[in-house]
């Protein structure tokens, strides 16, 4: 199928269905391919009056326990959704590439992960259990039986990011469905089509529409929705500035999970297998053009071989094919918006002017793409060294003392995932303990993840823990019954 036919097929498959009366649009949002800026589809946006009605419906659904969906129904809906996703996997992968700029090969992996994520939700429903609490440990409790059960926490509002437009939505919405929570989901305005298709699939699989609403709205309306007192749980994936600001404005009692970015460090020990690690670092640094919250950004290598390591990375980066993500051969797609290319260009230019050695890249290739870039020893106070670049840029620093390298890795306000490459067990264990991170990968890049592991940021990088099972626990609450015999 040609690219033009692919684009046409994607537009046709994502044409919005008739919008329910409660969510009639005030405007239409056009969605573009971030590489060539061509319009590939559109979705309706809604006003506060629409969302107010949806919140009221969702709130009443939760309040009326007679309307709660039993576990077997939730299991059936999610299983059917996974089947529908599998049947339309190629379409979903093309859609991810077309609206999000993720290379098609990686988009296919995202679809597979998303399908598995729905399956994980099904498995975890059986683990939403309470326990018996012994009462006769003291005389005061004797003559009683007590046990706890799990209940849905209430209305969930999920606000998502653009970089994994299907899998992130699955991680936020499917756990809500699995736990029995009504959910309103607001995808990134750049990438709403994958979310719309997923929500439609849930409905097609038998989920009554009031249990899951797809909403696209402006910033002010979104904030009003998030901070509404009817919201029991707020799930956010996006920038730290926005996430912390919204958390501060949540209504009393609203629980939340925030997933922000990082400036992921990698420690390379003298014993590391350099030939083996270079492909891993290239994948971790340039996957989705670096637009990943745990993307490899800062690499610390011994001064004795830092130049050789940096040059090998540069040689590999220079060979990466940059282009339209829907092209089968593309390895690095566009940045999500042209202004992000401007920002990355400015940060790299600043670092080079301040003394960083440019080994490859360092230039825009078009309005929407930036060349995969490797910098050697940029200043420690440069933006590329202290802030999440979210672009195809990897920085390499030489060190003479591994303790000082770890201290520099830990010096920022952001802490998410990290990694160490070594063949020395003592070094591995020491680095695991010393790095300020929620997960440390050994002999693998910092962006590794499977969907059943805990996934969370420390400090400015986030709040609470992601991952299917952890999110389902967050969206559930305990209730205890104490029965006097």
293 is catalytic: yes
Beta partners for residue 264, in sequence order: 296
The span from the CA of 132 to the CA of 114, in Å, is 35
Q: Which domains does the chain have, with CATH numbers?
A: 3-260+461-484 (3.40.605.10), 264-450 (3.40.309.10)
The pLDDT of residue 337 is 98
DSSP SS3 for 144: strand
What is residue 20's predicted lDDT score, i.e. its pLDDT?
41
Determine the Cα–Cα distance for residues 45 and 18; give it in Å rounded to an integer: 13
Q: Which of these is catalytic: 11, 124, 259, 388?
A: 259
Q: Residue 31: count other Cβ atoms within 10 Å of its Cβ.
A: 24
At residue 26, the pLDDT reads: 60
Q: What are phi and psi of 15, to 5 degrees?
A: -60, 125
DSSP 178-219: HHT--EEEE--TTS-HHHHHHHHHHHHTT--GGGEEE----H
Residue 3 is predicted with a pLDDT of 38
What is the predicted pLDDT for the residue at 46? 96
CA angle at 47 for the pair 42 and 52, rounded to the nearest 5°: 130
Q: Which of 181, 256, 293, 395 is catalytic?
A: 293
118: tokens are 């729905």
Give the per-residue pLDDT at 15.
Answer: 39
Which residue pairs, CB below 8 angstroms and at least 24 apart, start in 216-220?
A: 216/29, 216/43, 216/44, 216/45, 216/46, 216/186, 216/187, 216/189, 216/192, 217/45, 217/46, 217/47, 217/48, 217/51, 217/186, 218/45
User: C-alpha dihedral over 279, 280, 281, 283, to 10 degrees?
Assistant: 80
> Is 388 annotated in the active site?
no
Number of residues assigned to the chain:
485
Would you write out the chain's pLDDT as a tens digit for each of its 485 residues? 433 333 333 333 333 344 344 344 469 999 999 999 999 999 999 999 999 999 999 999 999 999 999 999 999 999 999 999 999 999 999 999 999 999 999 999 999 999 999 999 999 999 999 999 999 999 999 999 999 999 999 999 999 999 999 999 999 999 999 999 999 999 999 999 999 999 999 999 999 999 999 999 999 999 999 999 999 999 999 999 999 999 999 999 999 999 999 999 999 999 999 999 999 999 999 999 999 999 999 999 999 999 999 999 999 999 999 999 999 999 999 999 999 999 999 999 999 999 999 999 999 999 999 999 999 999 999 999 999 999 999 999 999 999 999 999 999 999 999 999 999 999 999 999 999 999 999 999 999 999 999 999 999 999 999 999 999 999 999 999 999 99
Would you say 170 and 110 are in contact if contact means Cβ atoms under 8 Å apart?
no
- The pTM for the full model equals 0.91
């Amino acid at each position: 199928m040609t690219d033009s036919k692919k684009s046409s097929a994607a537009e046709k498959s994502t044409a919005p269905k008739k919008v329910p009366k409660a969510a009639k649009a005030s405007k239409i949002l056009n969605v573009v391919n971030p590489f060539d800026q061509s319009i590939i589809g559109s979705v309706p946006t809604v006003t506060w009056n629409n969302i107010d009605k949806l919140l009221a419906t969702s709130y009443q659904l939760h309040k009326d326990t007679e309307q709660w969906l039993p576990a077997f129904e939730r299991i059936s809906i999610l299983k059917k959704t996974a089947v529908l996703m599998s049947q339309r996997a190629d379409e979903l992968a093309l859609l991810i590439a077309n609206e999000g700029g993720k290379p098609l090969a990686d988009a296919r992996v995202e679809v597979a992960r998303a399908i598995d994520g729905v399956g994980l939700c099904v498995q975890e429903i059986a683990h939403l259990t309470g326990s018996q609490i012994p009462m006769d440990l003291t005389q005061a409790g004797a003559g009683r039986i007590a046990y706890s059960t799990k209940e849905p926490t209430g209305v969930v509002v999920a606000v998502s990011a653009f970089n994994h437009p299907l899998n992130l939505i699955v991680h936020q919405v499917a756990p809500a469905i699995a736990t029995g929570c009504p959910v309103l989901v607001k995808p990134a305005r750049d990438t709403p089509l994958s979310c719309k298709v997923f929500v439609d699939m849930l409905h097609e699989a038998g989920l009554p529409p009031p249990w899951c609403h797809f909403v696209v709205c402006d910033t002010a309306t979104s904030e009003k929705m998030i901070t509404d007192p009817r919201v029991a749980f707020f799930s956010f994936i996006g920038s730290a500035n926005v996430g912390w600001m919204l958390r501060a404005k949540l209504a009393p009692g609203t629980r939340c999970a925030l997933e922000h970015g990082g400036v992921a460090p990698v420690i390379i020990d003298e014993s590391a297998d350099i030939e083996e690690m270079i492909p891993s670092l290239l994948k971790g640094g340039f996957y989705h053009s670096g637009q990943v919250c745990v993307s490899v950004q800062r690499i610390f290598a011994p001064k004795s071989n830092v130049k050789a390591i940096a040059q090998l990375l540069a040689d590999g980066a220079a060979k990466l094919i940059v282009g339209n993500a829907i092209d089968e051969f593309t390895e690095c797609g566009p940045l999500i918006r042209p202004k992000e290319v401007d920002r990355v260009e400015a940060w790299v230019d600043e670092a080079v002017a301040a003394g960083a050695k440019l080994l490859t890249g360092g230039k825009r290739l078009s309005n929407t793409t930036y060349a995969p870039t490797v910098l050697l020893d940029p200043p420690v106070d440069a933006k590329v060294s202290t802030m999440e670049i979210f672009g195809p840029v990897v920085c390499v620093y030489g060190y003479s003392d591994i303790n000082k390298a770890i201290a520099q890795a830990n010096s920022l306000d952001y802490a998410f995932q990290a990694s160490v490459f070594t063949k020395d067990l003592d070094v591995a264990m020491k680095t695991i303990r010393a790095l300020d991170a929620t997960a440390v990968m050994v002999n693998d890049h910092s962006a590794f993840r499977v969907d059943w592991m805990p996934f969370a940021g420390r400090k400015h990088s986030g709040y609470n823990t992601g991952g299917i099972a952890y999110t389902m626990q967050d969206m559930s609450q305990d209730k205890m019954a104490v029965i006097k015999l």
